[in-house]
Amino acid sequence: MLLTNYEPEIIRPPCDYSRETVNAIGHITGDISPVFPYLNAVIPGAEYQPAGKVLRFKWEGHVVTLRPDEMAAGGFNDADEAVDFLARLQKLINDTWERRHTIQPSEVQRKRLVATDVYRLLPRTNCKACGQPTCFTFAAKLTMGEVTLEACPVLTEPQFAAQRAKLEEMIANAVFL
């Protein structure tokens, strides 16, 4: 087991009573950074900085930041929810570490999608078949992971095959947080 012990700390943003969510940090005994390339390989849209030993990703609707001696996440309704999440995160880390021999580690440093880059590759008909008012709105939502390429039926037409392939490649190497 890689992550054996951690001390949970629950943080409420100070002097901001309009925010009702709490954040959580697990202060870790030891160094969990050896698991980062394996998590980076299996979690879609993760953002990995090998030099700084920081891994960020979205999991169960929360943005997680892992450092060698710390796991942090935010947006919880209360302390119990935050503590439960840290326990599940510990399990994710340890389960991934246990099966590391079956995973090809990755040091890929993904980049965030830029809406204008996505837009240029869309059919740009503004046909609304995806449920969005314009192709640019679709592009913007795609960069945030709120829609998928499958929602655009026009992209399945043969004349857009090359553009779709390029978009799929961009998405496979993109950060979604």
**Residues that bind ligand SF4 in the complex, under the rule CB under 6 A:** 122-123, 125-130, 132, 135, 138, 152, 154
CB of 110 to ligand SF4, least distance (A): 23
- Smaller CB separation from ligand SF4, 62 or 164: 164
Q: Which is nearer to ligand SF4, 46 or 121 (CB)?
A: 121
Give the shortest CB-171-to-ligand SF4 separation in angstroms. 14
**Kind plus residue range of the DSSP H or E element containing 165:** helix 161-172
Residue 44 or 133: the one with the smaller Cβ distance to ligand SF4 is: 133
DSSP codes of every residue in 73-117: EEEESSHHHHHHHHHHHHHHHHHHHHTGGGS-------EE--HHH
Q: Least distance in Å: CB of 152 to ligand SF4?
A: 3
